[in-house]
Each structure stands twice: as structure tokens, then as C-alpha cells.
Amino acid sequence: MSDNELMKGNEFIRKIKRLAKKRGIEAYVDKKRGKGSHVTLYFGERLTIVRNPSQELKTGTIKAMLKQLGLEENDII
């Protein structure tokens, strides 16, 4: 994922949910478990925090969230 490919938090969540459905894994967002505009995204037994889903995510943030979920960049392309 290059620096000029920005993704909003909502788009990231949609891609993770689509991947989970394809793999037969449960994925959901818990809006109550998070501070302020942050939400918790569950992917099977793993989780990550998505900060303000309506804003753009930085490349490093996306890579870190994917790592927390046990995924790689090419999984959501």
C-alpha cells in the first residue's frame, strides 16, 4: 500500500467484514468499547481499535491494524 492510497476508517471496516465473510469468520464493530470517536473492530478472536472511522487513516496506522488482526496488506486489496 503506497502513501498516496488513503483509506477512510469506514472503508477499512467494510473490507475487513467482507474478508471475514469470505473466510467464514465473525467480524463486527463495538462502538461502546472505545473512547470518544474510536471503535473496536473484532476479526474472529483478534481485535484492533479504529480511530474516528469517518476520517482518513495513515498508511502506518493501516499496517499496524492489519498486523493486530493477523492479516497482510494484500488480504484487503
Residue 67 maps to which CATH number?
A: 3.30.920.30
Q: What is the pLDDT of residue 19?
A: 98
At 47 the three-state DSSP class reads strand
The mean of the pLDDT values for the chain is 92
User: Has residue 36 been placed in a domain?
Assistant: yes
More confident residue, 45 or 35: 45
Number of domains in the chain: 1
Confidence of residue 32 (pLDDT cuts 50, 70, 90): confident
State the Cα–Cα distance between residues 69 and 39, nearest whole angstrom: 14
User: Three cell numbers at 68?
Assistant: 493486530
State the Cα–Cα distance between residues 70 and 37, nearest whole angstrom: 24
At 3 the three-state DSSP class reads coil
**Does the pLDDT of residue 1 top 70, yes or no?**
no
> Which residues contact residue 60 at a Cβ distance below 8 angstroms, ignoring those fewer than 6 apart?
none
Q: What is the pLDDT of residue 48?
A: 97
pLDDT in tens, 58-77: 999 999 999 999 999 999 98
Which range of residues forms the domain containing residue 61?
A: 7-71
